[in-house]
């Protein structure tokens, strides 16, 4: 498995030479101890490239692009909307869902979230974005999921709809909730489903430890794009539910190896 690095270089072309950022250069030179001509994958905003180390010095590591590299990104575009949870659960959720294939994250200050971020939002988002970057590198992703924060459910959903999200999949234990697999298949077969779309767009909503409030559940029930779903009779922790739902959804779209 080739080591991988993300860069901000735009307009990448064959034989371009790119200097790695300070932290990445330190990792490649001092931890991996790479030498000239060793290969790596350089992920640019335009996609991944097979590259080779052109130069290693005390102050810099330079990679030379060789050819475009096959993408490992899922075809499905799935946004994870996670109610803010306690302790280190948020790091676990961001890490594991990034590894599985989440497109991005919206961390929502749900009415029953025990933790109130308040003035800590900026620092927390920076930490969770770093976790997403590290997980994307480890799992050989070609994109780093963006992590953002919302406090208003209506504004959150309006933003998702504006971004082209077609279905809001809301994990809930209400009696009227349907199975996740059924909900995905039913939407695909419905008259209103987009035709010929090559990249399905969905959002999966996971509540915090206390679940959804009555007001939040009522909002989802009134939302045309939303469907309440269940993962079965077993009760999953909030940090487990999202990973399970994401894996099921990606498998439905053929993005989990078959």
Q: How deeply is 186 buried, as exposed, middle or buried, from its count of CB atoms within 10 A (0-12, 13-18, 19+)?
A: middle
124 domain-assigned: yes
Query: Are 150 and 173 in the same domain?
Result: yes
Per-residue tens of pLDDT for the chain, all 258 residues: 899 999 998 889 999 999 999 999 999 999 999 999 999 999 999 999 999 999 999 889 999 999 999 999 999 999 999 999 998 999 999 999 999 999 999 999 999 999 998 888 999 999 999 999 999 999 999 999 999 999 999 999 999 999 999 999 999 987 778 999 999 998 876 555 555 556 799 999 999 999 999 999 999 999 999 999 999 999 999 999 999 999 999 999 999 876
In angstroms, the CA 197 to CA 208 distance is 32
198 domain-assigned: yes
Query: Are 207 and 245 in the same domain?
Result: yes
In angstroms, the CA 136 to CA 73 distance is 10
The last residue of a domain, from among 14, 46, 68: 68
CATH code at position 90: 3.40.1280.10
Position 195 scores a pLDDT of: 58
Beta carbons within 10 angstroms of residue 50's beta carbon: 15
Query: Are 56 and 161 in the same domain?
Result: no
CATH code at position 23: 2.40.240.20
58, 81 contact by CB (below 8 A): no
Query: Are 134 and 246 in the same domain?
Result: yes
Query: Residue 192, by phi and psi: left (phi above 0), alpha (psi -120 to 50) or beta?
Result: alpha
Beta carbons within 10 angstroms of residue 236's beta carbon: 15
Query: Are 88 and 40 in the same domain?
Result: no
Which residues span the domain enclosing 130?
A: 78-253
Per-residue pLDDT tens over the stretch 130-163: 999 999 999 999 999 999 999 999 999 999 999 9
In angstroms, the CA 195 to CA 188 distance is 9
In terms of Cα–Cα distance, which of 124, 137, 65, 40 is closest to 98?
A: 137
Query: Are 114 and 219 in the same domain?
Result: yes
Query: Are 60 and 120 in the same domain?
Result: no
Query: Are 60 and 112 in the same domain?
Result: no
Query: Are 17 and 112 in the same domain?
Result: no
The last residue of a domain, from among 68, 90, 111: 68
Q: What pTM, to 2 d.p., does this model score?
A: 0.91
Structural domains counted in the chain: 2
Query: Are 53 and 163 in the same domain?
Result: no
């Amino acid at each position: 498995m080739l080591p991988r690095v993300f860069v901000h270089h735009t307009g990448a072309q064959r034989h371009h030479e790119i200097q790695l950022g300070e932290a990445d250069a330190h990792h490649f030179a001092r931890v991996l101890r790479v030498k000239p001509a060793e290969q790596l994958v350089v992920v640019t905003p335009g996609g991944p490239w097979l590259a080779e180390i052109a130069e290693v010095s005390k102050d810099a590591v330079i990679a030379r692009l060789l050819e475009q590299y096959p993408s490992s990104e899922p075809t499905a575009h799935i946004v994870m909307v996670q109610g803010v949870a306690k302790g280190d659960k948020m790091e676990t959720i961001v890490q594991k869902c990034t590894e599985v294939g989440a497109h991005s994250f919206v961390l929502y200050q749900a009415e029953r979230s025990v933790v109130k971020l308040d003035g800590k939002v900026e620092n927390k988002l920076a930490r969770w974005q770093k976790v997403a970057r590290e997980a994307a590198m480890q799992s050989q992703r070609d994109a780093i999921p963006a992590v953002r924060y919302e406090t208003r459910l209506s504004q959150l959903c309006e933003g998702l709809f504006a971004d082209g999200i077609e279905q809001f999949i809301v994990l809930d234990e209400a009696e009227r909730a349907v199975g996740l697999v059924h909900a995905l298949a039913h939407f695909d077969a419905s008259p209103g489903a987009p035709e010929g779309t090559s990249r399905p767009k969905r959002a999966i909503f996971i509540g915090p430890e206390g679940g959804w409030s009555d007001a939040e559940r009522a909002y989802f029930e009134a939302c045309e794009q939303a469907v309440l779903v269940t993962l079965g009779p077993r009760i999953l922790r909030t940090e487990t539910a999202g990973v399970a739902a994401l894996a099921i959804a990606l498998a439905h779209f053929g993005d989990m190896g078959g």
